[in-house]
Structure 1
Amino acid sequence: MTQTLSRRALLLTGAASLGLAACSINSTSEAADAENENNEDRYADSKWRQLTEDDWKARLSAAAYGVMRKEGTERPFTSDLNNEARTGTYHCAGCDLPLFSSDTKFDSGTGWPSFFDVLPGAMGTKPDRKLIYVRTEYYCARCLSHQGHVFEDGPAPTGLRYCNNGVALTFRPA
């Protein structure tokens, strides 16, 4: 009997936790949706939005196309940008929009370039449900190219870790 109650309590606790998580995701996603809309609207008439998939295939390497247009992920520790330490700006490899300042880059130990903040108006986000749990995908606000995922395990001051595919970035030294 005790074992049955323990299982029931565990199931109820799990269900309650999922319900709370869903409420939390919905409340934060409403604010994020409004910000995404503003960022995306800023570039709605951009020539980058008019490119066809064939245009993107011609512009990008096969690896960049797979990540940026098909929402793939490059293998960890394969990008030279992971170890880039110079002062400068990281740009979208698709449309050259500045996305990150080197001041926000940090070594997350994950094998991908990581940043704790983005430049204002540079990104949009959306839920990514490809795995068992929901992650937050972010993408370039101008050309809508996939960049990576943002996690809440980064350093101060934001507590965020923008885990970026290096192939989706170019670096411009200051």
Structure 2
Amino acid sequence: MNTEDQKWKEKLTPEEYYVLREKGTERPHTGKYNDFFEKGYYVCAACGNKLFTSDAKFDSHCGWPSFDQSIEGSVKYVRDVSHGMIRTEVVCSQCEGHLGHIFEDGPKETTGNRYCMNSISLKFVPED
């Protein structure tokens, strides 16, 4: 195991490591932010980078927290050809932790995007 991997294993829980560093996915409808709609913002669970505001969150009924936009510059997009399909992976722009995927089936009255994120990849910071 390289030094970088060891650093993440010491910092993250095994579940966080699996999703954020190994590109895993939590089971649908199990994440703590799936049905959570408090005011504030969401940061990367690995590095604290500010990713999404609560104003961008919506209920997509897909089983994972969904947002129609990210905070500008907070994420990067990676072509994902795993599991026999072509998708766009969303990673943190600071630590490159896996957050989820983006799809074009979000609210048409806003961006049309659905950032389908893993709750375990996020931490919520309440509004002051």
Q: TM-score range by the shorter chain?
A: over 0.9
The two structures, once aligned, show a CA RMSD in angstroms of: 0.9
* One-letter amino acid of the counterpart of residue 106, structure 2: G
CA offsets per residue over residues 84-139 of structure 1, 9 Å max, x none?
11100000000001100000000110110000000011000011000222000010
Q: Distance in 1 between matches of 2:35 and 2:125?
A: 14
- How is 1:1-174 mapped onto 2 (pairs within 5 angstroms)? 52-155=4-107, 156-174=109-127
Q: Distance in 1 between matches of 2:86 and 2:63?
A: 21
What stretches of structure 2 of length at least 5 have no aligned partner?
none
* One-letter amino acid of the counterpart of residue 79, structure 1: G
CA offsets per residue over residues 57-78 of structure 1, 9 Å max, x none?
1111111100000001010111
Q: Distance in 1 between matches of 2:27 and 2:16?
A: 12
Q: Secondary structure of the equivalent of 2:125?
A: strand
Q: Secondary structure of the equivalent of 1:103?
A: helix
Would you tell me which structure has more strand in proportion to its own residues?
2
The Cα of 1:80 is off from its aligned counterpart by 1.3
What TM-score, normalized by structure 1, do the two folds share? Answer: 0.70
Q: Distance in 1 between matches of 2:30 and 2:13?
A: 15
Q: Distance in 2 between matches of 1:54 and 1:91?
A: 22
* One-letter amino acid of the counterpart of residue 123, structure 1: V
Would you tell me which structure has more helix in proportion to its own residues?
1
* One-letter amino acid of the counterpart of residue 146, structure 1: H
* One-letter amino acid of the counterpart of residue 86, structure 1: E
Q: How many residues align?
A: 124
CA offsets per residue over residues 3-46 of structure 1, 9 Å max, x none?
xxxxxxxxxxxxxxxxxxxxxxxxxxxxxxxxxxxxxxxxxxxx
Q: Secondary structure of the equivalent of 2:25?
A: coil
**Bigger radius of gyration:** 1
Query: What is the percent sequence identity of the aligned residues?
Result: 44
Structure 1 residue runs of 4 or more that deviate by more than 6 Å after TM superposition: none
Q: Secondary structure of the equivalent of 2:84?
A: coil
